[in-house]
C-alpha cells in the first residue's frame, strides 16, 4: 500500500500489512495536502529494472475504514485470541467474496480474522462484517460459506457492540475491550 509518509499510517500489531488502514474521510484531504511532485510519485506507474517491470498502484481507498471500523480494528489489535486480521477490500479480484442468496451480486465482508479461541484450539479463519443496517445483515446472513463458517455481523448499539441475529434482531452484547462474547458466539458455531 503506497501512502504518503507525511501522513504515516498507525502501526498495527496484528494486521497482515502491519498498519491500520487510513480513515476514508481523510484520504482526499491528505492527498491534496501533498506537493505536486509528491502527488505525482503516488500515481500508478511502472518501474523498469534488469529487464523486469514492477507495477506500482496508487492507493485507491478500497481498504480505508470509517471511525466505527477503526475502533473495531483497535479492538482486534488488542485481543489475545486474534492471531492476525486483514481489512478485506470491496470488489477487488483478490478479495474474499461470498455469493449472496437473494441476488447475483457478491458480498465482501469487512474483515478476515484468524483466531485461536478457546486457547489451545486450532486456529480458525472467520469473516466479520460491521453493519449499520441490521436488515441488510439479515439478508447477507442467509448464505454460510463452508470454508469460513458463518459470517459474524456486528453493529454498534450506543457505546457497546452487538451481534446481529439472522432475523435482523440484536443479539449478544460485548464491548470494545472484551471481544470474548463474540468469539464464544463463533466457537459455538464451529
Domains and CATH numbers, the chain: 67-189 (3.40.1350)
pLDDT at 40 > cutoff 70: yes
Residues whose CB is less than 8 angstroms from the CB of residue 163 and which lie 6 or more positions away in sequence, other chains included: 152, 153, 154, 170, 171, 172, 174, 181, 182, 185
pLDDT tens, 64-86?
A: 999 989 999 999 999 999 999 99
Greater confidence (116 vs 27) lies with 116
pLDDT tens, 136-163?
A: 777 777 777 888 989 999 998 888 999 9
How would residue 134 be classed by pLDDT, with cut points 50, 70 and 90?
confident
The predicted model gives 6-28 an average pLDDT of: 91
pLDDT at 182 > cutoff 80: yes
Of 16, 22, 1, 19, nearest to 125 by C-alpha is: 16
The predicted model gives 102-116 an average pLDDT of: 88
pLDDT at 132 > cutoff 80: no
| Exposure class string for 53-90: b at 16+ Cβ within 10 A, else e | eeeeeebebebbbeeebbebbebbbebebbebbbbbbe
Greater confidence (105 vs 98) lies with 98
| Mean of the per-residue pLDDT values of the chain | 88
Highest mean pLDDT among 23-37, 44-58, 128-142: 23-37
* pTM metric for this prediction: 0.86
Amino acid at each position: 500500500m503506497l501512502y504518503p509518509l507525511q501522513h504515516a499510517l498507525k502501526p498495527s500489531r496484528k494486521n497482515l500489512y502491519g498498519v491500520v488502514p487510513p480513515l476514508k474521510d481523510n484520504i482526499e484531504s491528505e492527498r491534496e495536502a501533498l506537493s505536486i511532485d509528491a502527488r505525482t510519485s503516488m500515481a500508478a506507474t511502472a518501474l523498469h529494472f534488469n529487464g523486469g517491470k514492477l507495477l506500482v498502484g496508487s492507493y485507491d481507498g478500497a481498504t480505508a475504514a470509517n471511525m466505527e471500523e477503526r475502533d473495531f480494528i483497535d479492538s482486534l489489535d488488542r485481543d489475545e485470541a486474534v492471531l492476525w486480521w486483514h481489512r478485506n477490500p470491496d470488489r477487488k479480484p483478490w478479495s474474499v467474496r461470498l455469493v449472496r442468496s437473494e441476488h447475483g451480486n457478491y458480498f465482501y465482508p469487512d474483515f478476515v480474522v484468524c483466531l485461536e479461541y478457546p486457547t489451545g484450539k486450532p486456529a480458525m479463519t472467520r469473516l466479520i462484517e460491521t453493519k449499520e443496517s441490521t436488515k441488510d445483515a439479515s439478508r447477507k446472513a442467509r448464505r454460510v460459506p463452508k470454508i469460513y463458517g458463518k459470517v459474524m455481523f456486528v453493529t454498534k448499539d450506543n457505546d457497546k457492540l452487538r451481534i446481529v441475529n439472522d432475523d435482523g434482531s440484536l443479539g449478544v452484547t460485548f464491548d470494545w475491550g472484551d471481544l470474548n462474547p463474540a468469539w464464544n458466539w463463533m466457537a459455538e458455531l464451529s
